[in-house]
Amino acid sequence: MSRPTTYAQALNTALRDSLTQDESVLVFGEDVGALGGVFRITDGLTRDFGEERCFDTPLAEAGITGFAIGLCMQGFRPVIEMQFDAFGYPAFEQVVSHVAKMRNRTRGQLTLPMVLRYPYAGGIGGVEHHCDSSEGYYVHTPGLHVVSPSTPADAYSLLREAIASDDPVVFLEPKSLYWSKAELELPTRTEPFGRAAVRRVGSDVTLITYGPQVPNALRAAEIAAAEEDWDVEVVDLRTLVPFDDETVAASVRKTGRAVVLAEAQGFAGMGAEVAARVSERCFHSLAAPVLRVSGLDMPYPPPILEHTYLPGVDRILDTIARLQWDDEPDLTHEAAGTQAVHA
């Protein structure tokens, strides 16, 4: 029977079900044991599975990650939690130099089936080191899967898939969505890694986003329809690596316009990568240049200024308005553009 389920509850259930079904799964990190995590994602797991399966670690992120690497080599499937996104930076050398490279380094003889969970991004009135959008560092590192679910159903399903994966997964959990709810019956299975979801069907412009900005995109789309008669299609990437070019390109070719929405800083970020991929694959279907809405290119501000930093509905609508609405795409070379996608 379905019931109202928060994003946080969905994650807790995914961990609980994985611990129940696979004795090689271990959960550990900063305050995940008796406290149940700062955001209570691991609430009750130590009580129900014991300190051997869910336990606290020292506040030493590089050590936590190195310990997880060793456990993978001994046949375990560790799920580690960094308390906040930017707390993971001391472990970055372990992630880039060893976690991401081990399969390639050993010619496939040794894999690291581990999940690195990061409560990430802003929107909760936090400060720097607590609200970073760090996906750009991880998507740029070959050897990692990078996931950022936006719904409770995806939070459950994608975390189960991440834990079952034989390759390392960076699992980015938007803190601002921990208390979002949906009618849900668990367990549930949504689309697998590498498949984006069309959250709202539209015909005039494609709004491409992921993670914490999906709710903003949907609100902006409803306002655009009501006040401007723009029919906005919203595509939720769900997994950043692997990237679903097929769904994104199909949507943009249909609408002829694209806006990329990401909470991270705009310069050289995930949004820039998405915009480049859309331009390369859909150029001859575009009626206007691909535009971006992002966080500002500055360190994360204090809570009182957070609202000026984060992309909001007004900035999304202003960007959609800057698209060239009186122009039509030149489809003369559409066939050539299609060939380029498969090159």
Contact 165, 99 (CB under 8 A): no
Which tokens belong to 312? 């909001």
* Active-site residue, selected from the candidate residues 130, 145, 284, 307: 130
Residue 130 falls in the annotated catalytic set:
yes
Location of structure tokens 């069309």: 198
Contact 81, 41 (CB under 8 A): yes
Which tokens belong to 18? 């994985």
Q: Which of 120, 75, 74, 68 is nearest to 99 (CA)?
A: 68
User: CA angle, 149 as apex, 268 and 294 as ends, to 5°?
Assistant: 30
Which tokens belong to 137? 């560092």
Contact 94, 49 (CB under 8 A): no
Cβ burial 114-125 (10 Å sphere, 16+ → b, else e): bbbbbbbbbbbe
φ, ψ (nearest 5 deg) of residue 147:
-130, 140
**Left if phi > 0, otherwise alpha if psi is -120 to 50, otherwise beta: which for 8?**
alpha
Contact 340, 280 (CB under 8 A): yes
By annotation, the residues acting in catalysis are 130
